[in-house]
A and B are shown apart, each in its own frame.
Chain A
Amino acid sequence: MDITIVFRIAAVGILVAVLNQVLIRAGREEQAMMTTLAGLVVVLFWIIQYISELFDTVQTLFKL
């Protein structure tokens, strides 16, 4: 529960954005799309762990 996850996601986002631009300039649009999807999936995995932890906490807290 530390703030480094926010920086990690921002770093992946910026990295994918830069890679996107580089690949588009190099004329490989489909690979740019691929890297965006790859970055998206990686970040989604992290986020889903945090969301499931949030929902577990809420469930135990409010006895849902």
Chain B
Amino acid sequence: MDIMQIGIIGITAAVLALSVKNQLPQFALMISIIGGILIFMMIMPKISAAMQIFYDIGDKTGIGDIQIGIILKIIGIAYIAEFASQICIDSGESAVASKVELGGKVMILITSMPVIMAMVDLVEKLLP
């Protein structure tokens, strides 16, 4: 049922944005931003349910909460970076969009640093 609402919100936002685009491009951009936010707000409960399943799987398989937390944090950073850079691309500012993407990549690298260090230590222990 939800997918129909999502589709309808997307189509109405696109049509309204197009109707205002040639006189006032700023409003078209704002309508598309609001459309994106509404759709995400609708799917958010489903995402939190999926998160819970992630944690349950983590508990069952013995993967520590830290690793699962890092994975979720990376997903969150990737989502916000993609959200911002898509809006910049929509408004024609592809240079700014690539900077936002670069920032997102750096943040993800920093977040995943502990996992990389743990792997390096593990390899070091294995080598004679």
Q: Which residues of A contact B (CB under 8 A)?
A: 1, 3, 5-7, 9-10, 12-14, 16-17, 20-21, 36, 39-40, 43-44, 46-47, 50-51, 53-55, 57-59, 61-64
Interface residues of A: mostly helix, strand, loop or mixed? helix
B59-81 to A contact mask, C-beta < 8 Å, 1/0 = 00000000001001101110110
Total contacting residues, chain B, CB less than 8 A: 33
Residues of B within 8 A of A54 (CB): 37, 40-41
Q: Which residues of B contact A (CB under 8 A)?
A: 9, 12-13, 16, 19-20, 23-24, 26-28, 30-31, 33-35, 37-38, 40-42, 44, 47-48, 51, 69, 72-73, 75-77, 79-80
Beyond contacts A17-B20, A62-B51: 14 other A-B pairs, Cβ-Cβ < 8 A, are A1-B42, A3-B12, A6-B31, A6-B38, A9-B16, A10-B27, A16-B24, A40-B27, A43-B27, A51-B37, A57-B44, A58-B79, A62-B72, A64-B76
